[in-house]
Amino acid sequence: MDILTVATTPFTDQRPGTSGLRKKVRRFQTPHYLENFVQALFDCLPQREGATLVLGGDGRHYNREAIGVILRMAAANGIGRILLGAGGLLSTPAVSNLIRRHRTRGGIILSASHNPGGPDGDFGIKFNIDNGGPAPEAFTEAVYARTREITEYRILESGEVPLDHPGEHTLGGMTVTIIDPVADYAALMETLLDFPRLRSLFDTGAFRMVYDAMHAVTGPYAIEILEHRLGAPADTVIHGTPLPDFGGGHPDPNLVHARELVQRLFQPAPRCPDFGAASDGDGDRNMILGCNFFVTPSDSLAVLAANLHRLPGYRTGLKGVARSLPTSRAVDRVAAALGVECYETPTGWKFFGNLLDAGRINLCGEESFGTGSDHLREKDGLWAVLCWLNLVAERQQSVAEIVREHWRNFGRDFYTRHDYEALDPDVARQLVDRLRDRLGTLPGRRFGDFTVASADEFAYTDPVDGSVSEHQGLRLLFHQEARLVVRLSGTGTEGATLRLYLEQYEPDIARHDADANDYLAPLIHAAGEILQVEALTGRSAPDVIT
C-alpha cells in the first residue's frame, strides 16, 4: 500500500473548543477538511512513531467514514497500533478507560456529544492524552496553529479494515485491533460498585427502572450491565440501538429532550417506575429521575459527595471535590461540612484532570449533566447512574427521599439554567461585553429584591501547574445568598448560545419543596433587568430551561 502526500490549503475555522472540534457534518465532508485537522493532530503528537492509540465514536452520521480516513492516515503517519471499538463504537468514558488500562499514547474520539446527528446534524473530533482526559489547551492551541499553516497530509492510497467484529488486522505497517467496546468498561464498573447489592434490587421484580439510551452509544453498555449482569428486565433499556441520526431525536439527557422517559417517570403511582435515567450521544452525561422527581445535576454531585463512602470503590470517602463555575454551590456545603477542599474551575472536563492526577480530588462534576471520579479522566454517565442505583439499594430509600434528606442536612440550592440558542454571534458578544463593561459599577446596586455584593469575570489559576485561564464567565453574587453566572457556550455549531445560570440558597426546610422556577422567579426577573436580553436579542424567553 503506497503512502500518498496530498497537497492542501489551510482552513481558518479549525480551532478546537472545550470538547474538541465540532462542526456540521457537511463541513467535515468538505474535501480535505477532516484530513487537515487529523494531520495537524498527528504533527503535534509527541513520539507518535510506533505509538498505540484508541479510536472510536458514538456512531453518529459520518462516524464510519471518518474512521476509515483516520485509520489510513494513522498508518501513513507511523502509528504502530490502533485499538478500535467494534462497529466504530466507543463511549467517551470507555475511551478514557482503555487509554488508562492499556497505557496508550492517547485516543481519538469521534462525537459531538449531546448535539443532534444525521446528515444535517453535527460531528466532532477530539483528542484525549495519555492520562485518559481531554487534551490541555497548550496541545489544542498547537493543533490549531498547525491547521493554519498546513500544506500537505499523508494517507494510505487504499486499504479497508472490517469494523464490525473483534479481531486483528494489518493496515500498511500498522496493527488494527478490533475490540468489544463494552467489556473493559463493564469490568471496571464491577470493581467500583456493589453488583451483588444492585442485583438484589431486581431479584423480586418489585423495583422498576427505565434507562433511556436515546439511540446513542450507551445502549449496548446499559443492556450488558443493567439487563445481562444485574438482571433488570429486558425492557429496562429503551432506545437502546445506536443510530446515525439518534432516531431523529436530540441526544441530550434533559427534561426537554428525554420526553418519553420524563412522561414515564412523571405519572401517578403505581404506574410510575421507581428510577429513571438517561445518557447522551457519547455516554458522558447523565440525568437522574425518581418517581415524579427530577434531580438537578448540581444536587446529584452534592448527594454523591455526601455519600461517596457508601460505594465499594470509595470506602475512604471524599478526598476533595471540584465543580465548574456554573455548577451550583450545593457541593461546596458538603465539602465544608466534611472538611475537604472544593475547587471551582472553568467549564470543560480537562480542568479537572490536573486535580485528579495530583490526588487533590476524587469526585468532580458540572451542571450540564456531567459527573465523574478518579476512576477515569472523563465524565461518565452510566457510572453516575449505577452510583445512584447503589445508593438506592444501600440506603433502602427512594431517589426523592435521599435528596430531601440531603436538603434537610445541608439546605437546598434552588437552581436553573436558561439557554438562548442560535443567537447572532455579534449580538451575543455585545450582550456579554456590555455586562463586562458594567461589572465595576454593579456592587451595591439593587435589582428587584436583590442587591449585588460583588461582580467579576472569572479567571482560573490551576493550583497544580500554575497555568491561567481567563475570560471564563461573568459572575454576580448577591447579598441574598444568590448568584448569577453568564457565559457563552462553546459546544454549539450554529450561531451562539447564551447561558444564564441562576441559584439561591434556602435553609428553611418548609420551603424546600417549592417549584424551582417559582422560587427563582424574583431572581430571574432581576437577571432580566440587569442583562436586558429581550431588548438586545428580541427573545422573550429562553429556548431551553433546565
- pLDDT per position as a tens digit, 412-423: 999 999 999 889
Would you say the CATH fold of 412-545 matches that of 185-410? no
CA dist., res. 136 & res. 349, Å (int): 10
What per-residue confidence (pLDDT) applies to 160? 87
Helix (H, G, I), strand (E, B) or coil at 36: helix
What's the confidence (pLDDT) of residue 520?
Answer: 97
* Cα–Cα distance, 124 to 58 (Å, whole number): 10
* Residue 158: predicted pLDDT: 85
Give yes or no for a contact between 220 and 89, defined as CB atoms under 8 angstroms apart: yes
Catalytic residue among 113, 300, 324, 489: 113
C-alpha span between 181 and 221 (Å, rounded): 8
Comparing C-alpha atoms, which of 256, 325, 326, 293 is closest to residue 114? 256
**How far is Cα 429 from Cα 435, in angstroms, rounded to an integer?**
10
Q: What are the φ and ψ backbone dihedral angles of 393, each rounded to 5 degrees?
A: -70, -40
Span 512-546, pLDDT tens digits? 999 999 999 999 999 999 999 988 888 888 888 88
Contact 420, 530 (CB under 8 A): no
Q: Does the annotation count 113 as an active-site position?
A: yes
Phi, psi dihedral angles at 121 (to 5 degrees): -95, -155
C-alpha cell at position 413: 440550592
- In terms of Cβ atoms closer than 10 Å to its own Cβ (0-12, 13-18, 19+), residue 38 is buried
Query: Mean pLDDT of all residues in the chain?
Result: 95
Query: What's the distance, CA 231 to chain centroid?
Result: 28
**What is the C-alpha radius of gyration for the chain, rounded to an integer number of angstroms?**
23
127-147 average pLDDT score: 95
For domain 412-545, give the fold. TATA-Binding Protein (3.30.310)
State how beta strands 106-110 and 52-57 pair: parallel
Residue with cell 460505594: 311
Residue-wise pLDDT tens digits, 203-255: 989 999 999 999 999 999 999 999 999 999 999 999 999 999 999 999 999 98
Q: Are 329 and 483 in contact (CB under 8 A)?
A: yes
Q: Which three cell numbers stand for residue 282?
A: 457519547
Phi, psi of 359 (to 5 degrees): 75, 15
Q: Looking at residues 347-358, what average pLDDT do you find?
A: 91
**Would you list the DSSP string of 334-392?**
HHHHHT-EEEEE-SSTHHHHHHHHTTS-SEEEETTTEEEETT-SS--HHHHHHHHHHHH
Provide the grid cell at 54.
484508541
* 491 has pLDDT over 70: no
pLDDT at 494 over 90: no
Q: pLDDT above 90 covers what percent of the chain?
A: 90
The pLDDT tens digits of the residues spanning 167-188 come to 999 999 999 999 999 999 999 9
Position 269 confidence tier, pLDDT thresholds 50, 70, 90: confident
Superfamily holding 185-410: Alpha-D-Glucose-1,6-Bisphosphate, subunit A, domain 3 (3.40.120.10)
Buried b (16+ CB within 10 A) or exposed e, 405-425: ebbeebbbbbbbbbbbbebee
Q: How far is CA 186 from CA 220, 364, 414, 540, in A?
A: 11, 21, 35, 46
- How large is the angle between the packed helices 195-203 and 381-395, nearest 10 degrees? 70
Which residues are bridge partners to 134 per DSSP? Answer: 128
Q: Considering the domain 3-181 in this protein, what is its CATH number?
A: 3.40.120.10
pLDDT band per the 50, 70, 90 thresholds, residue 348: confident
Residues β-bridged to residue 167: 178
pTM over 0.85? The answer is yes
* C-alpha span between 282 and 179 (Å, rounded): 18
pLDDT at site 493:
56
> Would you list the domain boundaries of the chain?
3-181, 185-410, 412-545
Name the DSSP letter for residue 18.
B
End-to-end distance of the chain based on CA atoms, in angstroms?
A: 52
User: Of 45-59, 385-399, 488-502, which range is least confident?
Assistant: 488-502
Cβ(93)–Cβ(154) below 8 Å: no
CA 298 to chain centre: 13
**Mean pLDDT on 77-95:** 98
